[in-house]
């Protein structure tokens, strides 16, 4: 039973616009979440995280929002750049990953 779910396999946005990637979880005991970014033929790299004591965490163009009541988190990228084109994974602290969302940012 997958406890972290990314239901959108792909997302395409125009350069300069906002990208919103979503992640849902089922276990209300999860209290820390991480987003990773993966380019082809490379290992994933850590992007940003959020603790359940917060509802928002920002790092430059990347912001993660956490809605504990809905068991939902989202990653916002503003403005999106072509170099952001990659697969994005969310993960809970138990290191189980969602299926990923492939983001394509068009110039």
Partner 1 sequence: NAGVTQTPKFRILKIGQSMTLQCAQDMNHNYMYWYRQDPGMGLKLIYYSVGAGITDKGEVPNGYNVSRSTTEDFPLRLELAAPSQTSVYFCASSYGTTINTEAFFGQGTRLTVV
Residue 95 interacts with partner 1 (CB under 8 A)? yes
Cβ closest to partner 1, residue 70 vs residue 95: 95
Per the listing, tokens 């300069």 go with 16
- Closest separation in Å from C-beta 69 to partner 1: 21
Which tokens sit at 92?
A: 């809970």
Q: Structure tokens of 69?
A: 């009541």
> What CA–CA distance (Å, rounded) separates 107 from 99?
26
Phi, psi of 9 (to 5 degrees): -70, -25
Taking contact as CB under 8 A, which single stretch among the options 16-24, 58-66, 78-86, 93-101 is the one that binds partner 1?
93-101
* Interface with partner 1 (CB under 8 A): 6, 32, 34, 36, 41-46, 49, 51, 89, 93-100
């Amino acid at each position: 039973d997958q406890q972290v779910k990314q239901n959108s396999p792909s997302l395409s946005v125009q350069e300069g616009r906002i990208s919103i990637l979503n992640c849902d979880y089922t276990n209300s005991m999860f209290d820390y979440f991480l987003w990773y970014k993966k380019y082809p033929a490379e290992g994933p790299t850590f992007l940003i995280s959020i603790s359940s004591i917060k509802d928002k965490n920002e790092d430059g163009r990347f912001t993660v929002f956490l809605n504990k009541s809905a068991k939902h988190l989202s990653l916002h990228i503003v403005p999106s750049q072509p170099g952001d084109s990659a697969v994005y994974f969310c993960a809970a602290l138990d290191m189980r990953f969602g299926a990923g969302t492939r983001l394509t940012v068009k110039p």
